[in-house]
Amino acid sequence: MSQAARSSALARQRFRTAWLFLAPMLAALACVAVWPLLRTFYFSLTDASLSDLGDYGLVGFENFLVEDGGYWYGLLTDPLWWTSVRNTLVFAGASVAIETVLGVVMALVMNAAFVGRTALRAAVLVPWAIPTVVSAQMWAWMMHDQFGVLNAGLMGLGLIGEPIAWTADPDLALFSVILVDSWKTTPFVALLVLAALQMLPRDCYEAAKVDGVHPVRVFFEVTLPLIKPALVVAVIFRLLDALRVFDVVYVMTGNAEATMTMSVYARQQLVDFQDVGYGSAAATLLFLVIGVMTALYLVAVRAEMTRDMR
Amino acid sequence: MAATTRRAAWRTVKRLAFWTLVAAIFFYLLFPFYYAVVTSMKAGPAIFEPDFWPTRFDLDNYVAVFAEQPFGRNILNSLVIACAVVGLSLFLGLTAAYALGRIRFGGRRVLLLAVLSVSMFPQVAVLSGMFELIRSVGLYNSLGGLILSYLIFTLPFTVWVLTSFIRDLPKEIEEAAIMDGATPWVVLTQVFLPLMWPAMVTTGLLAFIVAWNEFLFALTFTLTNEMRTVPVAIALITGGSEFEVPWGRIMAASVVVTVPLIVLVLIFQRRIVSGLTAGAVKG
């Protein structure tokens, strides 16, 4: 056998091996991710019900929008759906903004040299490790309007005059849930930013110090631009996560309108109201929103990469 | 002289501000869990007094959580599920990582991105399809259904982290084994596996935590108290009367399931941080 033929036979064999080794993982993902997603898309075009998933008919886009006798019906005309869209956007925007600011501050502190730095780097993992359900319950108890320690503490400090109904007041509930979510997820941002800070070159700081530049200016003009790539990744990851938020909202405030997010809305339709077709339509829209954002992000990354290459 | 004292005073102020910030961060991070521990050890009406310091060491709530509902069973369920998910994810992730990281073939980058993109799926978007799947294979209200469905969370990052780890291992170690006529399976299990432990510990721990903490699937795909996992049990704990939320028991249950997790995380702190940042930074 010639050298070339042998190496091509070897290459073919390697290729077969590759697919053989990939097959179990791909089969598993096709089974638990691709297939269920496609079924959800399909269900969104049907009138399926949870009580009997085998018996349904195709209804086209009626779950999304339909005209009947001069009136429009469907998901896109449901004010509660639009409330949940608004809540989701407010939740995602506010919690990611808070996490980013707090996360950067924490990372800067963790990056400073001081006694107790190791302890702080361990402590930051505590909220991250706590299950979301547990953190939601812990905070719900702390935010209890009558017996909560948060009201007791704020009143003791004289910051508020009377107890606040953190989760029961419709004007405050979303804000409270945002606070709880940022507590749990700030550590993730802080750790990512800390990793970026640790990779920064020391010499530009030395130079700034010699020149007597104010530390705040050093942060905004040297540090921030250098950690920007890591910060952008952290923000995108958190944003995509926050847009599909479910656990913390559902455990703290259930299906309440004031905090209902797109995931909570879709689950309520699917499970509580057994309306698989309509719920799947809502879930499909949520998927599209997140899919479009992911695609935009990937395009932006690619554009930046090609610009940097030039 | 005046200038130096002023500078010294300024430095003291700055140091004081820094330590206040450090103290505030510690307080923010740790107080909620500390307060859960304090609450869990108060029984009866004492619970309605918001004390900052532990006033009692009553274990009534801990006893009651296990006596009033199948909480021991819930913990066992969560353990079985999390361990099975870790084992399955590591096996599937390892074989896939070998193919993606060590064998050159067209489209592997696209494949890796496709696998990673699954981690962007909103849970609720696969809920109805997954429900149908689990019911049709007879896994509704069983641990098997949850083990299967959790692979959607764990596989993408397991494959990603293990692939980037195995890709960076030196070429020579593999070549020697191939020269000796070792099959790919032998190369993977005898040559690479012993070197992969750091990455396996990291991804295994992350997968364990994800499976241990998951809520929505566990809530939807189980029906009876006996089949519930820990997060669902904690979310649905009810007291003697319907109108009174048993906060003491909820906090006791929360402490029970969180302490082992925190210990685990602190022991493997470095591995977890490197896994978290590798998952994101390399993306």
CATH of the domain at B120: 1.10.3720.10
Q: Are residues A47 and A25 in the same domain?
A: yes
Closest CA to B154 of B230, B75, B93: B93
The dihedral region occupied by B181, where left means phi > 0, alpha psi between -120 and 50, and beta the remainder, is: left
Query: CA A134, A139, A141, A143: dihedral to nearest 10 degrees?
Result: -170
CB contact under 8 A, A39 and B135: no
Domain total in chain B: 2
Do A202 and A222 have their domain in common? Answer: yes
Q: By residue range, what is the domain housing residue A41?
A: 3-72
Q: Which residues of A touch B203 (CB under 8 A)?
A: none
Note whether A125 and A32 are same-domain residues.
Answer: no
Please tell me whether residues A67 and A94 are part of one structural domain. Answer: no
- The 10s digit of each residue's pLDDT in B42-95 is 887 788 888 888 877 888 899 999 998 899 999 999 999 999 999 999 999 999
Residues B32 and B170 in one domain: no
The answer as to whether A296 is a domain residue is: no
Q: Report if residue A115 sits inside a domain.
A: yes
- Is A248 part of a structural domain of the chain? yes
Instruction: Using DSSP, state whether B198 is helix, strand or coil.
Output: helix
Query: What mean pLDDT do residues B240-247 have?
Result: 71
Both A21 and A117 in one domain: the answer is no
Q: d(Cα A56, Cα A169) in Å, to the nearest integer?
A: 40
Spell out the SS3 assignment of chain A: CCHHHHHHHHHHHHHHHHHHHHHHHHHHHHHHHHHHHHHHHHHCCECCECCECCCCCECCCCCCCEEECCEEECHHHCHHHHHHHHHHHHHHHHHHHHHHHHHHHHHHHHHCCCCCHHHHHHHCHHHHHCCHHHHHHHHHHHCCCCCCHHHHHHHHCCCCCCCCCCCCCHHHHHHHHHHHHHHHHHHHHHHHHHHHHHCCCCHHHHHHHHCCCCHHHHHHHHHHHHHHHHHHHHHHHHHHHHHCCCHHHHHHHCCCCCCCCHHHHHHHHHHHCCEHHHHHHHHHHHHHHHHHHHHHHHHHHHHHHHHHHC
User: Residue A310 has what pLDDT?
Assistant: 52
Q: Do A17 and A123 fall into the same domain?
A: no
Of A72, A100, A115, the last residue of a domain is A72
Q: Which residues of A touch B280 (CB under 8 A)?
A: 192, 233-234, 237
Query: Are A226 and A98 in a shared domain?
Result: yes
Q: Most distant CA pair in chain B: distance in Å?
A: 85
Q: Which of B14, B18, B27, B29 to mutate to test the interface with A (most CBs of A within 10 A)?
A: B29
- DSSP code of B54? -
Q: Give A283→chain B minimum CA distance, Å.
A: 5
Instruction: Answer whether A103's CB lies under 8 Å from B243's CB.
Output: no
Residues 6 or more apart whose CB falls under 8 angstroms from that of B134 comprise B140, B145, B148, B149, B221
A139 touches A224 (CB < 8 A) = no
Q: Which residues of B touch A283 (CB under 8 A)?
A: 122, 124-125, 127-128
Residues A232 and A138 in one domain: yes
Q: Is residue B147 very low, low, confident or very high in pLDDT (cuts 50, 70, 90)?
A: very high
Domain tally, chain A: 2
Are A208 and A155 part of one and the same domain?
A: yes
Q: Please report, in tens digits, the pLDDT of each residue of chain A (310 residues total).
A: 567 777 788 778 888 888 999 999 999 999 999 999 999 999 999 999 988 888 888 888 989 998 888 888 888 999 999 999 999 999 999 999 999 999 999 999 999 988 989 999 999 999 999 999 999 999 999 999 888 999 999 999 999 989 999 999 999 999 999 999 999 999 999 999 999 998 888 777 777 777 778 888 888 888 898 899 889 888 988 999 999 999 999 999 999 999 999 999 999 999 999 999 999 999 999 999 999 988 888 788 777 766 665 5
pLDDT at residue number B239: 58
User: Does A202 lie in the same domain as A134?
Assistant: yes
Query: Number of Cβ pairs closer than 8 Å across A and B?
Result: 275
- Which pLDDT score is estimated for A221? 85
The whole-number pLDDT of residue B240 equals: 55
How far is it, in rounded angstroms, from Cα A304 to Cα B19?
Answer: 40
CB contact under 8 A, B276 and A21: no
Answer yes or no: are the C-beta atoms of B150 and B217 closer than 8 Å: yes
Q: How many residues does chain B have?
A: 283
Interface ipTM: 0.90
Chain A residues lying within 8 Å of B220, measured CB to CB = 267, 271
| The pLDDT value given to residue A43 | 95
Same-domain status, A47 and A151? no
At A308 the pLDDT is 60
Task: Write out the residue range of the structural domain in which residue B141 sits.
Answer: 64-281
Q: Are residues A42 and A190 in the same domain?
A: no
Structure tokens at B83: 């361990």
**Which chain B residue has its CA at the smallest distance from A292's CA?**
B120
Shared domain check, B162 and B105:
yes
Let me know if residue A305 belongs to a domain. Answer: no
